[in-house]
Amino acid sequence: MGKHFLILILLFQGLYMARSLIPAKYDGFPYGDNSDISNAIIVEAFFDPLCPDSRDAWPPLKQLFLEYYPHLYLLVHPFPLPYHDNSFVACRSLHIANRLNASATYPLLELFFKYQEKYYNDPTKNLSRAAIIEDVARLGAQAVGNALLSEFKDGFTDSRSDSATRTSFKYGCTRGVFGTPFFFLNGFLLPGGGSAIDYETWKSIIDPLLGNHEGGVDESASSF
Ligand SMILES: *[C@@H]1O[C@H](CO)[C@@H](O)[C@H](O)[C@H]1NC(C)=O
Ligand SMILES: *[C@@H]1O[C@H](CO)[C@@H](O)[C@H](O)[C@H]1NC(C)=O
């Protein structure tokens, strides 16, 4: 009796976790229009839009993507660090933008990087939550189109943007992310998480992998 009860509890717990954790689609915002994921090196970046190291990490990563296209598949996961007071709102606004106008997601991320200091803890400590959301919605409308300002504000009362942002955070947690930027290459964590990677370092990481790609399956198989 006791044993069956325990099994039942575990079963329900499993169902509950599956229901609460598994999202309907893979987290993250793909950059560019590269859909040929099977032939590309998959680069995943966990960025906090209000983190200076994420800001510094973006230009070299973007340059790398543009230069190596279509050999790279780039996906950015928003990851709101808990000690950045406005990060959850910022990450949520990326999900709102993505829903309103998907091609505005990265322009909004870049606006955050540009005006980031304004949203740090100190300069916003006297502001109400509502004032911050109002300000972020205006920034968001700059990216998605100013005609969508009221839709953008409504996005902050839409539970879907809340749960999408929670999913982004939880997904980072399941991958062991505890700072930003964190990078994964073909699913493997790059060491040195928490710091920006410059362009030359990226090249030295990607080029050998690309050599393997171009050699094809036969060549790499022959080395065994
Ligand atoms: C969607 O966002 C892009 C990038 O900011 C912008 O160029 C475009 O005009 C927007 N689309 C609409 C319908 O406003
Ligand atoms: C916040 O309010 C306090 C008390 O009124 C003031 O001393 C401080 O300068 C304000 N800080 C900012 C960043 O506005």
Which residues, at least 6 apart from 202, have a Cβ–Cβ distance to it below 8 Å? 60, 61, 64
Taking 70 as the threshold, does the pLDDT of residue 35 lie above it?
no
pLDDT for position 218: 39
From the CB of 146, is ligand 1 less than 6 Å away? no
Tell me what percent of the residues of the chain surpass a pLDDT of 90: 78
Least confident of 68-72, 79-83, 140-144: 68-72
Helix (H, G, I), strand (E, B) or coil at 34: coil
Q: Which atom of ligand 1 is closest in space to residue 143's alpha carbon? A: 5
**pTM for this structure?**
0.87
H or E element in which residue 183 lies: strand 182-185
Q: How confident is the model at residue 7 (pLDDT cuts 50, 70, 90)?
A: low
Give the model's pLDDT for residue 193: 87
CB 105 less than 6 A from any atom of ligand 1: no
CB neighbours (10 Å) of residue 20?
11
Question: For residue 73, which of 84, 81, 61, 85 has the smallest C-alpha distance?
Answer: 61
- The minimum-distance atom of ligand 1 relative to the CA of 108 is 5
Give the pLDDT band (50/70/90) at residue 126. Answer: very high
CA 210 – CA 207 distance, rounded (Å): 5
Residue 97 pLDDT more than 70? Answer: yes
Checking if the pLDDT of 221 tops 90, the result is no
Protein fold of 27-211: Glutaredoxin (3.40.30)
pLDDT at position 211: 85
Domain boundaries, the chain: 27-211
